[in-house]
């Protein structure tokens, strides 16, 4: 009888420990995972450590002549620029954040702005077919938005 009472007591203590963990520690783990996602984005890499700038290919639009935008020629499925922005082949990036890509007058400088946009969670204005759309849809947000209370 004593053995059963001791076993039940032990199970109750273990149950209380699991409840304590769920209430107090599990939310911290979720915030930690979101912070890790944000750190990966700030470093310019996706969850697999692949740099965002390696997840797409682009060229000047038009290829010769007066620079107008950055034309996306290839997007790695599941890569950083696909997952975060939803870029598609054929999109022409016109703005990065508040800056028109033609501000520097050269494709190489504008591509550098686009590479850095992922790190800084800046929105993009792209021309897709005949429409201009803002990416990411809903606006650029940090993975931590809404998780850490501000006092």
Give this prediction's pTM.
Answer: 0.67
Question: Once rounded to an integer, what is the mean pLDDT over residues 2-29?
Answer: 82
* Structure-token pair, residue 53: 């700038």
pLDDT value at 75 more than 90:
yes
Determine contact, residues 17/133, Cβ cutoff 8 Å. Answer: no
The confidence score (pLDDT) of residue 139 equals: 59
Pure H helices in 21-150:
26-42, 80, 107-120
Query: Tell me, what's the pLDDT at 49?
Result: 78
* CB 72, CB 92: distance < 8 Å: yes
Average pLDDT for 48-63: 84
Whether the predicted pLDDT of 136 surpasses 90: no
Percent share of the chain, pLDDT over 90 = 17
Instruction: Assign a CATH topology to domain 52-135.
Output: Pdz3 Domain (2.30.42)
Q: What is the mean pLDDT of residues 57-72?
A: 85
Distance CA 15, CA 132 (A): 55
- CA separation (Å) from 122 to 29, 38, 137? 27, 13, 12
User: Given a cut of 70, is residue 34 above it in pLDDT?
Assistant: yes
- Give the lowest-confidence range in 10-14, 34-38, 81-85, 128-132: 34-38
- Using one digit for the tens of pLDDT, what is the confidence trace for 97-133? 888 888 877 888 888 888 888 888 889 999 998 899 9
């Amino acid at each position: 009888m004593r053995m059963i009472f001791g076993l039940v007591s032990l199970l109750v203590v273990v149950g209380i420990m699991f409840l304590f963990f769920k209430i107090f520690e599990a939310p911290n783990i979720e915030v930690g995972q979101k912070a890790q996602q944000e750190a990966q984005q700030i470093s310019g890499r996706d969850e697999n450590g692949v740099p965002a700038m390696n997840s797409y290919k682009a060229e000047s639009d038009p290829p010769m002549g007066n620079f107008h935008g950055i034309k996306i020629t290839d997007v790695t499925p599941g890569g950083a620029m696909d997952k975060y922005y939803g870029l598609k082949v054929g999109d022409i990036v016109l703005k990065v954040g508040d800056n028109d890509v033609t501000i520097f007058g050269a494709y190489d400088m504008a591509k550098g702005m686009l590479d850095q946009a992922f790190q800084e969670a800046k929105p993009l204005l792209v021309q897709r077919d005949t429409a201009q759309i803002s990416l990411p849809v809903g606006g650029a947000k940090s993975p931590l938005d809404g998780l850490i209370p501000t006092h």
